[in-house]
Structure 1
Amino acid sequence: MPGTVGRVPTPATPAAEASASDAAGVVTGRSRAATTAGPPQHWDPLVRGAAELILASPVPMALALGDDLLLFYNDAYATLIGDRHPDAAGRPAGEVFADVWGEPGVGDAFERAYRQGESSLEREAVLPYDRQHPDARGQAVFTRGHSPVRDSAGRIVGVLTVTAETSQVTEQLQSLSDVAAALAGTLTLDDVARVSLRYLLTAFDTDRVTFGVDDGAGWRTVRRVRGELLDEADERLPPLWRRSPADSTGPLIVAARSGVAQFVSDGQPLRDIAVDRHDQKVRALAAQPLRTSALRGGLTVGYHAARAWSAAERALLAASAELIGQAAERARRFETQHGTAQLLQRSMLPEHLPDLPRLRIAARYDAGVDGNAAGGDFYDAFLLPSGELGVVLGDVAGHDVQAAARMGQVRAALRALALSDPRPDAVLAGLDRLVGSLGAETGSQELFVTVVFGVVDAQRERLTLASAGHPAPLVRRGGPGGEPVAEYLDVPPGAPLGLGCAPCTTTVRFAPGDTLLLFSDGVVERRRQSLVAGLDSLAAAVAGAASGDPRALCAVATAAVAGATEDDVAVLAVEHALIPSRSASIEVPAEPTAPSRVRHWMTAQLTDWQVPEAVVGAAVLCTSELTTNALLHAGTAARVEIDLSPERLLVSVADSGTRGTVTRARTDTLSSRGRGLGLIEQLSDAWGTDPTVRGSTVWFEILIPTGQRDVPAG
């Protein structure tokens, strides 16, 4: 049966009272002056021992004594109950928690323990105690236990309450669910690395995390550290991978090779492979392999302080590695399939476009949403025997290897026909017969090909075109008031190839300052949007572009219509320059001195061309960042090209890696670190990335100030 608190005439220990915390001091003071329990020194020895244990514990604990369940508690419990402290000390628990006493797990738990001697444990409790506190925890989760407290005679004299917060475990499990959902949407190893590193850093509240996979003869790893400043733009960028040899002794690679997890509680686990102070400061490290049938990899979690790895942490890390490993395996498979399809696609497109003094040419191709498939869009530009320029853009229906192969046949046949007889109507008539023959040969009634072909005569300032079922080309011209205008050319569309096409030619003026834009229907077609709206958006975007430079217009055109497209996108632009531009280029090896060489070469070249000083400074800074980026991410030599016209300076940096051949998302984002991205956006008037057959080209354009457009060219 419950009883009163037994008393013995034992004096208080001065040392114990002197070391008491603020909460403990309030509790002991209240017991002397205002409670029926009396001074602690008169309590039963067992009860007093329990009280001393509570006051010294870092875990939230409280003792409710006597029939009134008078509260005595420690600092941690005082924090837990918020602004109920210090008034709660020495008062009945039913009064202190009057507003929540009737809720399950509160008053009833106290009463069962005190009246019936029943212990209870609530594993996932959301405490209502501090709901009035301005810094309330909200939905923090705790494990809470109530036990009867007995005196020396075995009588129940109170209730011991112990509360342990388990929010971290709950949050980690929730994080595991969230990361599973995030990994489900990843396509590439870059995507998997970004999601995994962000999750590991947050869920384990760690100082350093790494993710790594096998890479043929070696390994590549990527790292994140606590406090690393990454904004939204950085999160979209490709991770900065580091390469390691196959026999590396790094914990991640050792775990990946052996398939056995490693745990270091205290030491210098990264001493032999440390690249900076972040690695050197790690004392505790867990290395977990990624166990998959088609990929070897691993991840690590490190801390700057010694750490005992609990069974729960090891299990959570193993579960995380299982999810990340499955995502990495899917990503590796996707990259392999996609890379093959894209290599086939791009190998059938021209690697280099003609470099002419009065005609500037640029093109862009983006794969559709289904990045695993090869498409049938194609473009080409080539010199004719007469010195004129032949330009073509077409679309073979389908998104498979067969479509890409048909595209290659049509493109090769078109060039052969044009070199023999460049009249656009004659070329398309010949192609119509070829496509019809291919359809009959394969027994396919689904061979659907549209194409527009034109001949640019810069000397006579004219353009002759013919179309076989393709969207009408767009021309950007200088308006009457000086403002550019964009107009669609009146070219009879005709029937697609293979259906008895009888093309008609149209000849229009193509004067200096004009820019021609050929495009595929993927540029303007969107679901639940009319084709007219898409065409209007494209014309408005082209007219409003900062300049008529073909590379800039290709980037503008591919982003002109809002919404995602499931079709391939191909654009070809030709500018009839007012004045011939000046061009120069330099090849730089993959060496640490390359950015410095580029800066010196470019400064000398632009100064010699009398480019305004402000433009030179901005261009050199941006080019240095892009060169560094190309060397870091591609690991290959880079080619820097500059092209100067009276209106603008165009700079491109091309690498021969594979960065641009993985996903469409890659071509929409500059692949530099955050600083480089910010510089390009702030210092240039337009920029973009163009994937090529063997890598990527990143470019930017800076307009020459109107009052300083006397740059000599020739």
Structure 2
Amino acid sequence: MNPTLGPARIVQTDDAGYAELMVGTGGSTLPSQTGAAPQTASTPAGDVPGCAALIRSVAWEQTTLGPVPEWDPVVRATVDLMLASPVPMALTCGDDYLLLYNDAYAQVISAWHPVAMGRPAAETFGELWHSSDVGGVVQEVYRSGRAQLEPETQMTLPRGDAGRPEHAFFTRGHSVVRDSHDRAVGVLTVAAETTQVTRHLQSLGELTSRLAGALTIDDVARVVLSYAMSSFDVDHCVFAVDDGAGYRYVRRIRGEMLDEADERLPPLWKRIVADEGYPLVAVAQSGRASFEPDGSPLMKIASDRHERRIRALAAIPLRAPSLRGALTVGYRSPHPWLPAERALLDAAGELVAQAAERARRFEAQHGTAQLLQRSMLPEHLPELDTFRIAARYDVGVDGNAAGGDFYDAFELPDGRLAMVLGDVAGHDVRAAAVMGQVRAALRALALTDPAPPSVLAGLDRLVGSLGAESRNEEIFVTVVFGLLDPADGTITLASAGHPPPVLRRAGFRGEPATAELVKVPPGAPLGLGGRWQTGVITIEPGDTILMFSDGVVERRGRALNDGLDALVAAAASAGSGDPRNLCSLATGAVEGTTDDDVAVLAVEHAVALSRSATMQVAAEPTGPSRVRQWMTNRLREWSVPEAVIGAAILCTSELTTNALLHAGTPAQVHIDLSAERLLVSVADTGTRGSVTRARTDALSSRGRGLGLIEELSDAWGTDPTVRGSTVWFEMLIPGNAGP
């Protein structure tokens, strides 16, 4: 046997299988002894021969193993077995643990291949070899002669051409190899990489956690589609549930701008009949999964090029006592659907079915209550010449569909504007019922005697009476009520235990805008027999007053003043005083989530009269083109700069298309032009009683539409309404053009 040589380079074999071993300096270098990522081998990756050829090319006579003809028959037979195996296998021979391995193992140690062949394992793997998880166990098997089966172990290996460290998981078995004289001559290691399976199991745990927080079918759709795309790296996935006589489904497609399950908007549900020609319908009705490794599974029912390109498809049934559905995942190339992968998909299907059924029950129990609550709120706010009004209501993120927050704004016979924002403690139907009574009584009292102290005194008697009738003295109601005189912009305010409004003062002559809490005399909550005083402020042109419920600023574990300061800062930093923009900013001004409902009402004193127009759009293919023509003509009549017109038309067309897609009902486009900005809103009427709170801190895009709005507009957002949802955007007018 010859001593082990220093750094060596393997060269291509000739036809006879002979090779020349290049010794000395030059050639490729092995990983450093510190375990750093190895350098790239001198042989290009595409030119590396198979491991059988590499073994023939090594000058074994210059190693401790000696020339191949002198190898023990057992060693030669073991090498032949290893090379023929499709499973990753490696043989470490002798006291210096010379390394031989097959093609499958070469893929595992790709960053060290091919220079590792025929080299001592310690020189190849560096510190990794000296760890107990790698070299330690091999040396123990070699010395003791006892085989070992290791449980799954995590290792950090350099992967890819750059040799970046990646975490990988392996299960390995080690057996001693004895020669013809029963002497231990090496260790045969069989390795099974379980990285992908382990990651699948980890992602299955994450799926369980995320589904636990999914309240509605829309939420479940977003969670399961995101899971399928990230965990299985698929090209196409579909989530479907039964819907009357047919099914409705939503999908995600890799590499496309269109995101049909965006976080900010309702998913783009599409409907199909219960035709078993659709794979998802077939498995939903039969309850049996199907796996197509290679073919054209969607060709007969393909609605676009994405489905025609799918070659491998797995369809998993979603079965629960009150729900039928399916989850399909597909690839654009052949895919074998291994048993472990099938089992993971089946397990995911069970979890998704349970979550979808819970969500359906939740929607059935709470959707009607939420719709009832929204119907108690004003569907339309007053439209004044120089005052713009907007409001927003969001349910708490805990999923309660009924609550006590409310707002209202209405004109009085003398031309003044009454505005109110209140909060009834509780998050149930009873709180919503009390809210409805208080709001109705407030309107009646204000029409009789609108003075804020008189209105609050009447509400105080009502709440006291309700508490006595129910034998519950704990009805807790707070209200801030104001009267706006459009003639001079004065607002007379009174508060019954409610947080004070925020007043945003517009900056003039280049000065920044400011914001502050209005100083309103404090008063007792309703039902306690208190007395209330008023405060008076004046809002100048460009100023905005913002009323809000405590859910906007209260967060667990944080001081109330922190929330108030954050809201004031958000109002001051807003790009404009537009009330819709301020309402959207207010709901996301304070970090963290709240279990409380959120209500906001904003009134802006406009700098000048605004112009507005509304168009009803039928749910038909020509709708977006008619909107473009109508809006172009109207904006040019109003002398809006062409640059603003082009951007606004593009965004409005995309939003109109989107509204018609996900709602399937007519949409309403409203444009409002003031001296400083153009506001466009697109509303649909396709509500299904969704109770998911709008996430103003998540700016994910549904394809080109929201991507364009994020790029081209100065502010944008989504608003839930009584009968649907509204998406709006605002564009500032350069040079203060406009009416």
Fold in common (TM above 0.5): yes
Letter in 2 for 1:214: D
Q: 1:139-182, CA deviations, whole angstroms, 9 ceiling, x for partnerless residues?
A: 4414334264676x999987654333333333322332232233
Cα gap change, 1:44/1:377 in structure 2, threshold over 3 Å: closer, same or farther? closer
The match for 1:390 is 418
Residue correspondences, number: 694
Contact 2:60 2:118 in 1 (8 A): no
The alpha carbon displacement at 1:576 in A equals 3.0
Q: 1:300-339, CA deviations, whole angstroms, 9 ceiling, x for partnerless residues?
A: 2323344444433322221121222222222323333342
The match for 2:723 is 694
Letter in 2 for 1:144: G
Given candidates 512, 528, 539, the residue that maps to 1:499 is 528
Equivalent position SS for 2:137: coil
Letter in 2 for 1:284: A
**Do structure 1's residue 215 and structure 2's residue 243 form an aligned pair?**
yes
Between 406-415 and 39-48, report the one with greater CA deviation. Answer: 39-48
The match for 1:181 is 209
Given candidates 384, 400, 408, the residue that maps to 1:356 is 384
Between 428-437 and 92-101, report the one with greater CA deviation. Answer: 92-101
Whole-Å Cα distance in 2 between the matches of residues 338 and 548 of structure 1?
35
Between 613-622 and 205-214, report the one with greater CA deviation. Answer: 205-214
Letter in 1 for 2:376: M
Q: 1:50-86, CA deviations, whole angstroms, 9 ceiling, x for partnerless residues?
A: 5445445454334567898765443444555568766
Equivalent position SS for 1:368: coil
The match for 1:278 is 306
**Do structure 1's residue 428 and structure 2's residue 456 form an aligned pair?**
yes
Given candidates 614, 635, 655, the residue that maps to 2:664 is 635
1:630-669 to structure 2, matched below 5 A, reads 630-658=659-687, 661-666=690-695
Whole-Å Cα distance in 1 between the matches of residues 492 and 48 of structure 2?
95
The alpha carbon displacement at 1:689 in A equals 1.6
Whole-Å Cα distance in 2 between the matches of residues 377 and 194 of structure 1?
28
The alpha carbon displacement at 1:656 in A equals 0.8
**Do structure 1's residue 197 and structure 2's residue 225 form an aligned pair?**
yes
Q: 1:442-485, CA deviations, whole angstroms, 9 ceiling, x for partnerless residues?
A: 22201222223333221354333333333333443456866544
The alpha carbon displacement at 1:356 in A equals 2.3
Percent identical pairs in the alignment equals 63
Cα gap change, 1:90/1:121 in structure 2, threshold over 3 Å: closer, same or farther? same
Equivalent position SS for 1:352: coil
Contact 2:292 2:312 in 1 (8 A): yes
The alpha carbon displacement at 1:643 in A equals 0.9
The match for 1:4 is none
Cα gap change, 1:493/1:85 in structure 2, threshold over 3 Å: closer, same or farther? closer
Cα gap change, 1:415/1:669 in structure 2, threshold over 3 Å: closer, same or farther? farther
The alpha carbon displacement at 1:605 in A equals 0.3
Letter in 2 for 1:109: V
Q: 1:412-433, CA deviations, whole angstroms, 9 ceiling, x for partnerless residues?
A: 1111222223333332222222
Given candidates 266, 270, 275, the residue that maps to 2:294 is 266
1:271-350 to structure 2, matched below 5 A, reads 271-350=299-378
The match for 1:545 is 574
Whole-Å Cα distance in 2 between the matches of residues 13 and 387 of structure 1?
100
Whole-Å Cα distance in 1 between the matches of residues 724 and 449 of structure 2?
35
The alpha carbon displacement at 1:188 in A equals 3.0
**Do structure 1's residue 604 and structure 2's residue 636 form an aligned pair?**
no
The alpha carbon displacement at 1:624 in A equals 1.4
Cα gap change, 1:272/1:500 in structure 2, threshold over 3 Å: closer, same or farther? same
Between 626-635 and 239-248, report the one with greater CA deviation. Answer: 239-248
Contact 1:126 1:140 in 2 (8 A): yes
Whole-Å Cα distance in 1 between the matches of residues 342 and 88 of structure 2?
26
Between 220-229 and 380-389, report the one with greater CA deviation. Answer: 220-229
Contact 2:240 2:250 in 1 (8 A): yes
Between 449-458 and 600-609, report the one with greater CA deviation. Answer: 449-458
Instruction: In structure 1, list runs of 5 or more residues that go unmatched.
Output: 1-11
The match for 1:146 is 175
Contact 1:150 1:156 in 2 (8 A): yes
Between 44-53 and 297-306, report the one with greater CA deviation. Answer: 44-53
The alpha carbon displacement at 1:559 in A equals 3.1
Cα gap change, 1:259/1:438 in structure 2, threshold over 3 Å: closer, same or farther? same
Cα gap change, 1:634/1:668 in structure 2, threshold over 3 Å: closer, same or farther? farther
Contact 1:585 1:640 in 2 (8 A): yes
Between 446-455 and 96-105, report the one with greater CA deviation. Answer: 96-105
Q: 1:96-123, CA deviations, whole angstroms, 9 ceiling, x for partnerless residues?
A: 889549854302324555xxxx655445
Cα gap change, 1:83/1:112 in structure 2, threshold over 3 Å: closer, same or farther? farther
Instruction: In structure 2, list runs of 5 or more residues that go unmatched.
Output: 1-12, 20-46
Equivalent position SS for 1:452: strand
The alpha carbon displacement at 1:185 in A equals 3.2
Whole-Å Cα distance in 1 between the matches of residues 64 and 494 of structure 2?
104
Cα gap change, 1:659/1:551 in structure 2, threshold over 3 Å: closer, same or farther? farther
Cα gap change, 1:239/1:23 in structure 2, threshold over 3 Å: closer, same or farther? same
Whole-Å Cα distance in 2 between the matches of residues 470 and 600 of structure 1?
47
Q: 1:332-360, CA deviations, whole angstroms, 9 ceiling, x for partnerless residues?
A: 23333342332122111010111222332
Equivalent position SS for 1:141: strand
Whole-Å Cα distance in 2 between the matches of residues 31 and 178 of structure 1?
51
Structure 1 length-normalised TM: 0.86
The alpha carbon displacement at 1:700 in A equals 1.5
The match for 1:625 is 654
Structure 2 length-normalised TM: 0.83
Whole-Å Cα distance in 1 between the matches of residues 14 and 502 of structure 2?
94
The alpha carbon displacement at 1:32 in A equals 6.0
Whole-Å Cα distance in 2 between the matches of residues 75 and 539 of structure 1?
65
Whole-Å Cα distance in 2 between the matches of residues 241 and 315 of structure 1?
28
Equivalent position SS for 1:610: coil
Whole-Å Cα distance in 2 between the matches of residues 561 and 125 of structure 1?
43
The alpha carbon displacement at 1:655 in A equals 0.8
Whole-Å Cα distance in 1 between the matches of residues 79 and 303 of structure 2?
52
The alpha carbon displacement at 1:585 in A equals 0.6
